[in-house]
Amino acid sequence: MSKKQKKYDIVTTISYPKKGAMGKTGSWRTYEPQFDKDKCVKCLRCWIFCPEGAIIRKDDDSVEIDMDYCKGCGICANVCKVKAIKMERKGLKK
Amino acid sequence: MTVMIDTGNYIAAKAAVMAKPDVVAAYPITPQTTTVEGIADYVATGEYKGKYICVESEHSAMTACIGASEAGSRTFTATSSHGLFLMHEMLHWAALARLPIVMCNINRVAGPGWNIWADENDSISQRDTGWIQLYCSSNQEIFDTVIQSFKLAEDKNVVLPVMISYNAFILSHTSMPVEIPSQKEIDDYLPKFKAKWKLDTKNPVTHGNIIGTQYYEKVRKAMQNAQMNAKELIPKIALDWKKKFGTYHGGLLERYRCDDAEQILISMGAIGAESKAAIDELRKEGKKIGLARLRTFRPFPKEEIIKLGKQAELIVIDRNISIGSEGAVFNEIKSALFNKVDTKVTGFIAGLGGKDVPYTDIIKMCKKSIKSKAKDQIWYGFNEEGR
């Protein structure tokens, strides 16, 4: 956003857009995405579908998952055509 | 200035349209129906140029008003009894979101049994929603209060929704002459609405997000402060209106022949108007009695009540009952006086279910309380056989 955010002079539950306005929501996760870079074809479907903006798109269209904010919903794993992402229960002993 | 002779509901519709709300969303319910029909007529004639949304329920009517208000629109709606109850969840939302929605509520009995007459239990049951609650006792007061309510609700130190209540049929369907200022005068009095906050794609914010306990308390305190600001503002708005348009109905309460009174009757709504006739009769008999008609129930005029308590014994008539406790006004008055003034307060429950309360009955209530010691609330004219 180029223009400066206008703040309203009233006490009600208004929140202004900023990264991590609700704290590090990654701590809410039960399932964790396991990303296999070798399988990834850079289609960017995960980047499009992630509801939290937790898929980081790099200059060469490769992706990385921001684990500070990933809530573990698994949408990325579902939309991945090449199964480069799979969900695993957090803390599960292998 | 023109004089319009019409019913309370059509007068409310006229006032609402003259305030030029951007959005009206309403669902018809007896006895409110003619208010929204009246506004629909103004849509047909082109006098009302805003959006009129026909919704499928009162819950939707209130949510439509909330959405429109959040988008920065001036909004109006009207309802009654069960419609108001259906809105209940969203009434809290509107107040917590600090949206200056203005609504008329035509006081009607809660069912079952099905009964459409006057009874104040509908609005009283919404006491704690954070809405400002005003009560009218004439059609002129309805007109003036609707316009003033936009001014009050939208004031930068208030920003709360306002509910204007008046009794079913006794006011809603009774014609009276009402002085109507010109549209230009109203436009000058009530400039275009400027929202204190809004949802705006040019300045994106989130509203109603998850909130921690430490912040929630702050929101509640701010609402309480806003109600206290309204308490100061309501008498000022009334006096300013008197200066500009000549009509006046009192500030937080209307005092009638109170100056040397040793007893003061407190009532509101239609009984408040009827009480004046009773006071006149009692004065003729030499009784030093006056009337304080409550115009605002929220904010509650605590300081004014203490002043009255210092001067006189108080008699309270409630057309409502908080089941398990007592009449709401009686309860509030005793609470206001506690630890401040020790005076006799006698409470009556009268006119529930729309039972007529003529001035002759009010005279009897007053006489009964002048003679007797302080008692718990009395059900006036209660008859097991229903006669």
Q: Which domain holds residue A59?
A: 36-88
CA-CA distances (angstroms) from residue A14 to A25, B64, B71, B98, B208?
A: 19, 19, 14, 11, 7
What confidence tier does A40 reach under pLDDT thresholds 50, 70, 90?
very high
| Residues B346, B316 contacting (CB under 8 angstroms) | yes
ipTM of the complex: 0.82
Q: Do A13 and B197 touch (CB under 8 A)?
A: no
Q: How many domains does chain A have?
A: 1
Question: Which residues of chain B lie closer than 8 angstroms to A22, CB-CB?
Answer: 209-210
CA-CA distances (angstroms) from residue B236 to B155, B165, B243, B293?
A: 12, 20, 11, 18
Strands B345-349 and B296-298: unpaired
The fraction of chain A above a pLDDT of 70, given in percent, is 95
Q: Do A8 and B207 touch (CB under 8 A)?
A: no
Question: Which residues of chain A lie closer than 8 angstroms to B202, CB-CB?
Answer: 3
Q: Is residue A23 part of a domain?
A: no
What is the token pair recorded at B320? 């409502």
Q: Which architecture, in CATH terms, is B2-245?
A: 3-Layer(aba) Sandwich (3.40)
Question: Which amino acid, one-letter code, is at B333?
Answer: I
Q: What is the pLDDT of residues B282-292, one digit of tens each?
A: 999 999 999 99
**Residues in chain A, overall count:** 94
Q: Please name the member of B202, B205, B218 whose beta carbon is closest to the beta carbon of A14.
A: B205
Q: Give the CATH number, domain containing residue A77.
A: 3.30.70.20
Q: Please name the member of A5, A9, A11 whose beta carbon is closest to the beta carbon of B203.
A: A5
Q: Please name the member of A3, A6, A10 whose beta carbon is closest to the beta carbon of B196.
A: A10
Q: Which residues pair with A35 in a beta bridge?
A: A85
CA separation for the pair A83, B175 (Å, rounded)? 75
Q: Please name the member of B206, B218, B222 whose beta carbon is closest to the beta carbon of A15.
A: B206
| Residues B293, B250 contacting (CB under 8 angstroms) | yes
Q: Nearest CA to CA, how far is A48 from chain B (Å)?
A: 21
What are the domain boundaries of chain B? 2-245, 254-379
Q: Is residue A52 part of a domain?
A: yes
Strands B23-26 and B175-180: unpaired
What is the token pair recorded at B318? 């409630």
B254-379 has CATH 3.40.50.920 classification: yes
Whole-number mean pLDDT of chain B? 96
Q: Please name the member of A3, A6, A13 whose beta carbon is closest to the beta carbon of B211.
A: A13
CB pairs under 8 A between A and B: 51
What confidence tier does B384 reach under pLDDT thresholds 50, 70, 90?
confident
Question: Which residues of chain A lie closer than 8 angstroms to B196, CB-CB?
Answer: 8-10
The fraction of chain B above a pLDDT of 70, given in percent, is 99
Q: Is residue A67 part of a domain?
A: yes
Range B370-376, long-range pairs (CB < 8 A, 24+ positions): B370/B263, B370/B287, B370/B289, B370/B313, B372/B346, B373/B344, B374/B344, B374/B345, B374/B346, B375/B346, B376/B326, B376/B347
Question: Which residues of chain B lie closer than 8 angstroms to A13, CB-CB?
Answer: 96-97, 207-209, 211, 215, 219
- Residues in CB range of B309: below 8 A, 6 or more apart: B333, B336, B337, B340, B341, B343, B345
Q: What pLDDT, on a 0 to 100 scale, did the predictor assign at position B21? A: 98
| Residues B332, B320 contacting (CB under 8 angstroms) | no
- Residues in CB range of B61: below 8 A, 6 or more apart: B25, B26, B27, B53, B55, B77, B79, B83, B87
Q: Could you check whether B2-245 and B254-379 share the same CATH topology?
A: yes
Q: What is the pLDDT of residues B90-127, one digit of tens each?
A: 999 999 999 999 999 999 999 999 999 999 999 999 99
Question: Which residues of chain B lie closer than 8 angstroms to A23, CB-CB?
Answer: none
B5 touches chain A (CB under 8 A): no
